[in-house]
Structure 1
Amino acid sequence: MERIKLSEDLSISRIVHGYWRLLDWNMSNEDVLKLLEATYDLGITTVDHADIYGSYLCEERFGKVLSLKKGLREKLEIVTKCGIKLVSENRPENKSHCYDTSKEHIIKSVERSLKNFNTDYIDLLLIHRVDPLLNPEEVVEAFNKLYKEGKVRNFGVSNFLPPQFNMLNSYLDRKLVTNQIEVSPLYLDHIENGTLDLMLEKRVHPMAWSPLAGGRIFKGQDETSIRVRKALNKVKEEVGAKGIDEVVYAWILMHPSKIAPIVGSGNFDRIKASVDGTKIKLTRDQWFEIYVAGRGVDVP
């Protein structure tokens, strides 16, 4: 599988496996290990997490899975996020749903993630959401401390718009290496609002969450979903794909910013479909047919 170089010391697989719904898969640790090894054999070496996933339980569960096989952690690139606080019985100290990008919270979150994963380093840490109270000087202090201690090797953000990305990046010695954003034929905002243009300008490769729009690609009954699904099915027949999900991944992968889609499924066939999508080459006409279907109106 193609790999994308995010920094001098970090490359990721073009397809990333997401563990947001790990607890919903109803798998034993041994079953998750089998899935992890099967996806690794497909070339997927990068795994996506966040401290809040599974009401703060997914990271720890994944760490238990890693402990089942010696040396597995070193074969993977672990991405995790911090900056959101949720009200949860697993974090009784959290009084409300809010954002916290203070130096203290970032460092505390990373220390917990390291313990959860049973590792001494995180390959890539992302600030999960834009915090209106984000103090870039505090974030820099936290990042520098974590980097110097060898606890986090690279830093990025998630869901940042261009002004926010540029603002934080301007304070950093080690620049942000990615921006994890929502991209799908049913969510075109970052194609049209300048976010992906900025990624190209900065030579930063983004990651895409919810590439299948949370399943709306398959089952959505709103006008846009129906229109996009029709276009995807047409292109599917033209390229000989097995499913429209393969076409969606091919469509996302065609963007010149080299987006790395995140597949958040515990179903191996769904994961394999994303990998099969990397082998499909769309024409410009096919790409625009899907794009226009998502827009609902022709391009100007």
Structure 2
Amino acid sequence: MDKVKINQYVSFSKVIQGFWRAQDWQWTPQQLNRYLNELVERGITTMDHADIYGDYSCEGVFGEALKLSPQLREEMEIVSKCGIVLPSHRIQGADGHRYNHSKKHIQQSVERSLKELQVDYLDTLLIHRPSPLMDPQEVTEALKILVTEGKVKSFGVSNFNKSQYDLLNQCLVCDKLHITLNQLEVSPYTLDIIEDGTMNHMLKDDVKIMSWSPMAGGKLFDLEDEKAARIMTVISPLTQKYNVTANGIVMAWFNKHPAAIMPVLGTHQIDRIDEAIAGLKITITDQEWFDIYTASLGHDIP
């Protein structure tokens, strides 16, 4: 599988495995380890985490599985996020729902993620959501320390719009750092970041896009949803033309975009992964891309 270059140290697989619901899979470390090996064998090497996933437990689940095949670490790119606080008895000070972008919290969150994942460094750290209390200088100071200590190889954000990105990146570049990634919600069903210019703004600065909820949380396949039904009316004939599933057509739709959008899949079914990979091997036409796009918009382009 082709790789997407993030910076001089890190490249990602075009499809990313997400672990938001890993706790719900109720797998043994051995079962998850087998899945990790299957992913890497297929070229899916980038693993997406966050400190809060599964009530702060999913990173630990992953770490126990990775420990069974420690050699896999050098074949993987591990992403984690911090900045959201959720109420939990598992974490000291997690007594409410808020954002915390303080230097101390970022450093502590990374230290905990490294311990839970049982690794020495993160390939990428993302600030999970923007905060009205974010001090960009404090975030920059935390990142400088983490980079100097070798604990973070690249840095990005998640769910940041244009102005939020600019605020933080302007501070970072003053210290010769750079936001390399923005993880955003985008799919054939959810076009907001394309329509509001955020996608173009990221492309201008060579910021790569990770797509969370690339299938719109399953809504894309709900034919009782009028918008989804319009989109699937376009996608269905394409599955026959290209001999792939609807998942494969969605992957091809992402892959067509020049922003190198990398979908984060939350599945734990290897056949769904294979469907996604098959989609990367086809190239839909410009017209087919726009047919899906306008079906989502609900009207023709000007």
Matched residues in 2 for 1:30 and 1:145: separation?
Answer: 35
1:207 pairs with 2:207: no
What secondary structure does 1:55 align onto?
helix
Amino acid in the other structure paired with 2:116: N
Counterpart for residue 37 of structure 2:
37
Matched residues in 2 for 1:141 and 1:11: separation?
Answer: 25
Residues 110-158 of structure 1: CA deviation (Å, up to 9, x unaligned): 0100110111111100000011111000000000011111111110001
Counterpart for residue 103 of structure 2:
103
Matched residues in 1 for 2:251 and 2:196: separation?
Answer: 21
Amino acid in the other structure paired with 2:70: K
Counterpart for residue 299 of structure 2:
297
| 8 Å Cα contact 2:83/2:100 also seen in 1 | yes
Matched residues in 1 for 2:39 and 2:94: separation?
Answer: 35
**CA shift at 1:286, angstroms?**
0.5
| 8 Å Cα contact 1:183/1:252 also seen in 2 | no
Counterpart for residue 231 of structure 1:
234
Counterpart for residue 264 of structure 1:
266
**CA shift at 1:240, angstroms?**
2.3
What secondary structure does 1:50 align onto?
coil
1:253 pairs with 2:255: yes
What secondary structure does 2:227 align onto?
helix
**CA shift at 1:23, angstroms?**
1.2
| 8 Å Cα contact 1:208/1:261 also seen in 2 | yes
1:60-79 pair list within 5 angstroms: 60-79=60-79
Residues 176-200 of structure 1: CA deviation (Å, up to 9, x unaligned): 1110111111100011111110121
User: Which sections of structure 1, spanning at least 5 residues, go unmatched?
Assistant: none
**CA shift at 1:298, angstroms?**
1.2
Matched residues in 1 for 2:258 and 2:115: separation?
Answer: 37
1:285 pairs with 2:271: no
**CA shift at 1:162, angstroms?**
1.1
Counterpart for residue 140 of structure 1:
140
- Number of matched pairs: 299
Counterpart for residue 3 of structure 1:
3
**CA shift at 1:93, angstroms?**
2.0
Matched residues in 2 for 1:199 and 1:257: separation?
Answer: 8
Amino acid in the other structure paired with 2:36: L
What secondary structure does 1:151 align onto?
coil
What secondary structure does 2:152 align onto?
coil
| 8 Å Cα contact 2:88/2:95 also seen in 1 | no
Which segments of structure 1 move beyond 3 Å, counting only runs of 4 or more?
A: none
Counterpart for residue 150 of structure 1:
150
Amino acid in the other structure paired with 2:228: S
User: Which sections of structure 2, spanning at least 5 residues, go unmatched?
Assistant: none
Counterpart for residue 191 of structure 1:
194
Amino acid in the other structure paired with 1:183: V
**CA shift at 1:95, angstroms?**
2.1
**CA shift at 1:64, angstroms?**
0.6
| 8 Å Cα contact 1:263/1:274 also seen in 2 | no
TM-score (norm 2): 0.97
What secondary structure does 2:114 align onto?
helix
TM-score (norm 1): 0.97
Matched residues in 2 for 1:133 and 1:88: separation?
Answer: 22
Counterpart for residue 128 of structure 2:
128
Counterpart for residue 178 of structure 2:
175
User: How well do the aligned residues superpose, as a CA RMSD in angstroms?
Assistant: 1.1
Residues 66-117 of structure 1: CA deviation (Å, up to 9, x unaligned): 1111322121100000000001222252221111111111011001001101
Amino acid in the other structure paired with 1:82: C
Matched residues in 1 for 2:277 and 2:24: separation?
Answer: 23
